[in-house]
Amino acid sequence: TLDTLERWNSPPGALFHPPLSPFVPIMPSGWQYVGRKHPVFHPIVEEGGSFFGEAFRNYPGSLMPAERFTVVLLTYERPVVLIHAIQRLSGVASLDRVVVVWNSPAPPGADMQWPDIGVPLEVVKTDKNSLNNRFIPYDCIKTEAVLSLDDDTHLRSEEIDFAFRVWRENRDRVVGFPGRFHNWDARHGGWLYNSNQSCELSMVLTGAAFIHKYYLHLYTFHMPAAIRNVVERYKNCEDLAMNCLVSHITRKPPIKVTLRWTFRCPGCDEALSGDETHFTERHRCLNAFTDIYGYLPLLYTQLRTDSVLFKTRLPHKKSKCYEFV
């Protein structure tokens, strides 16, 4: 009841009740250990009480099923690329299941050999080819954490694990890898989308990002339909729409993790993002979203998150939290 005033007067409002929320107050750090016969978190401690390398990597923390994540893979008529994408997820810590959003008009072929990576694999055949399908809160998503991936995204297992740990500390934010920013076109007026490396960013692309399932409900059922219509019109910009939505609700920027700025996909066809038209459409999307919201919700940040011991010199017998991040 203490937050009644804020809930009624802040978007999406007190009448919107999704099954999960990223705004649940954080419990004290000892709750998962004290007074429990079987702790729901595994202490990340080696002999002598140190939080180092292998012990840290081997124990992701929570043992609760809800404290895992679901990969949502969007794909369109690239079965070989898709199969390789699923295979790369084998052995990823804390992975609950993989949901493939099959955006192609034709269903998967009967001869398609789905790889077994040790977790459930769900294939959702969509009614039409739409980028908005990426953010539908499908019933088969059982976790709060959703890792949204393009099928041509290449990530190391430890990069995914690190990003998930960062997201668990920032559940109301978009947490991911490729950073982008917006800037004002002083010559012509209006907002521009920019993919150049910069000291500031305001977006993290959802081709490789963690988001809370709560925002899938907001995107599909609460966000103005005009925004989804813009995505349909250009077949583009669903990632920009999600970033605007989260920043509008939280008034916080996303969190970029690790050095990653772009991804290369060996053997893939040229991505749509390599086309100049792609950028022109994204400029138009940002300005359309500005018109709909009445302002551009995106916020700048200078922050990039790396592992605590990244680039730290350690004694010979000690190992870092992660080898590459």
Exposure class string for 274-302: b at 16+ Cβ within 10 A, else e: eeeebbebbbbbbbbbbebbeebbbbebe
Question: If you search the block for the tokens 């393009």, which residue do you land on?
Answer: 150
Residue 151 annotated to the active site: no
Catalytic residue (choose from 161, 239, 269, 291): 239
Residue 12, preceding bond cis, omega within 30 degrees? Answer: yes
d(CA 139, CA 123): 12
Contact by Cβ (8 Å): 167, 149: no
DSSP at 24:
P
**What are the CA-CA distances from residue 293 to residues 24, 206, 224, 290 (Å)?**
26, 21, 9, 5
Structure tokens at 203: 């977006």
d(CA 256, CA 263): 14
Residues carrying an active site annotation: 239
